[in-house]
């Protein structure tokens, strides 16, 4: 891959896309393209067609998606299904038509069946029912994986799909209505800590969290995913689908206690077991990426500290960050 290769990063303003942009710049890539949603509506076929005809990117990295946690997926199932399919289908189809040779599609570990054996292997795709709380997003992502696989099979192009585990990090979404579990916890613990301090109390206000705390989850720092994308860009992979994660998980309860300690919250944690837990466990088998020569570098405790520090430094602006 030449350093002046024209690389289009769809979703370059989001947490994932911006991390990929920074990683590519750090490696010396000089010809990066990014468009905001106001500049280019990826759901609009004509606009996407015109973009490819004008810009002629040589490589496309698809980090654009409508994302959110359990609440957002439950409240907006149609948008999570349709908008994600529109975005990725336009990008994949017009990349093929424009003869883009390398395409990296980013998905999610939620594409795998709810009760698949653990850890999750790539071959478990489409072997059972999905988790109902995010099946709309998962189905959209599965269609993207299969579209890239079909292009690879039929046209011989280097189109690959990377499926990251649960992501977190700098430029994360901390909106409690749409965020994922880890950034939501950071904000909840922080605000409860501040509320206690404002009352002059030595103890933080209690924090209520969804579920039982027993499900197990794996978390990947977003800069590690960006590093994996650069690795995939610079290397030829043999297959079309690769899991990206740490290969290590923990209970949501343990996660909450780690974040509580990092933030300095001293109050009670109240678990609302009437709320859904989601998938009981979702650990990725990352042996294919390991065999290819890549593995994660940032540990969870370090990653949470770095994410909380970013949160503290951006409290006045993070709500306005365009995802």
Tens of each residue's pLDDT in the chain, 323 residues: 899 999 999 999 999 999 999 999 999 999 999 999 999 999 999 999 999 999 999 999 999 998 776 777 778 899 999 999 999 999 999 999 999 999 999 999 999 998 899 999 999 999 999 988 889 999 999 999 999 999 999 999 999 999 999 999 999 989 887 788 999 999 999 999 999 999 998 899 999 999 999 999 999 999 999 999 999 999 999 999 999 999 999 999 999 999 999 999 999 999 999 998 877 888 999 999 999 999 999 999 999 999 999 999 998 776 544 43
- Residue 78 falls in the annotated catalytic set: no
Asked if residues 59 and 101 have their Cβ atoms less than 8 Å apart, the reply is yes
What is the residue-wise DSSP string for 126-157? TSSPPPGGGHHHHHHHHHHHHHHHHHHHHH--
Contact by Cβ (8 Å): 39, 50: no
pLDDT at residue 13, rounded to an integer:
93
Domain 7-193+200-320 = CATH 3.40.50.720: yes
Shortest CA distance to 181 belongs to which of 106, 62, 276, 317?
276
54 annotated ligand-binding residue = no
C-alpha to C-alpha distance for 245 and 161, rounded to whole angstroms: 14
Q: Given 8, 29, 94, 137, which residue is catalytic?
A: 137
Is 12 annotated as contributing to ligand binding?
yes
Asked whether residue 210 is marked as a ligand-binding residue, the answer is yes
Q: What pLDDT is attached to residue 244?
A: 98
190 is in an annotated binding site: no
- Annotation-wise, does 108 bind a ligand? yes
Question: Nearest to residue 297, comparing CAs of 237, 232, 222?
Answer: 222
Annotated ligand binding at 13? The verdict is yes
R_g of the chain computed on alpha carbons: 20
**Any known ligand binding at 188?**
yes
Output the pLDDT for position 202. Answer: 86
Domain ranges of the chain: 7-193+200-320
Burial of 303 (0-12, 13-18, 19+ CB in 10 A): buried
Between the alpha carbon of residue 32 and those of residues 72, 146, 194, 228, 288, the distances in Å are: 31, 27, 41, 18, 28
Task: For residue 165, say whether it is annotated as part of any ligand binding site.
Answer: yes
Q: What is the pLDDT of residues 1-26, one digit of tens each?
A: 899 999 999 999 999 999 999 999 99
- Residue 277 marked as a ligand binder: yes
């Amino acid at each position: 891959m030449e350093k002046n290769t024209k690389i289009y990063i769809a979703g370059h303003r989001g947490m994932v896309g911006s991390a990929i942009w920074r990683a590519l710049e750090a490696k010396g890539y000089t010809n990066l393209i990014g468009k905001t949603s106001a500049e280019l509506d990826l759901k609009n076929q004509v606009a996407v067609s015109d973009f490819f005809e004008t810009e002629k990117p040589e490589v496309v990295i698809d980090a654009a998606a409508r994302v959110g946690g359990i609440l957002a997926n439950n409240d907006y199932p149609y948008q999570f299904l349709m908008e994600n399919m529109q975005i990725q289908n336009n990008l994949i189809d017009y990349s093929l038509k424009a003869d883009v040779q390398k395409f990296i599609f980013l998905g999610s570990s939620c594409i795998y069946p709810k009760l698949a054996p653990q850890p999750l292997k790539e071959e478990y795709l489409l072997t059972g029912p999905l988790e109902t709380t995010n099946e709309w997003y998962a189905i959209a992502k599965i269609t993207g994986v299969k579209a890239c696989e079909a292009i690879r099979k039929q046209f011989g192009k280097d189109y690959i799909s990377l499926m990251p585990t649960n992501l977190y990090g700098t430029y994360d979404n901390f909106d409690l209505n749409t965020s994922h579990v880890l950034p939501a916890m950071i904000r909840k613990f922080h605000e409860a800590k501040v509320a206690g301090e404002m009352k002059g109390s030595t103890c933080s206000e209690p924090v209520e969290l969804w579920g039982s705390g027993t499900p197990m989850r794996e978390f990947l720092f977003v800069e590690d995913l960006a590093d994996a994308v650069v690795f995939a860009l610079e290397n030829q992979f043999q297959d079309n689908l690769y899991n990206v994660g740490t290969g290590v998980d923990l209970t949501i309860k343990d996660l909450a206690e780690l974040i509580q300690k990092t933030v300095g919250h001293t109050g009670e944690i109240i678990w609302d077991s009437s709320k859904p837990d989601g998938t009981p466990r979702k650990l990725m088998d990352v042996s294919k990426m390991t065999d290819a020569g890549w593995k994660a570098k940032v540990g969870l405790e370090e990653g949470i500290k770095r994410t909380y520090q970013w949160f503290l430094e951006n409290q006045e602006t993070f709500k306005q960050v365009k995802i």
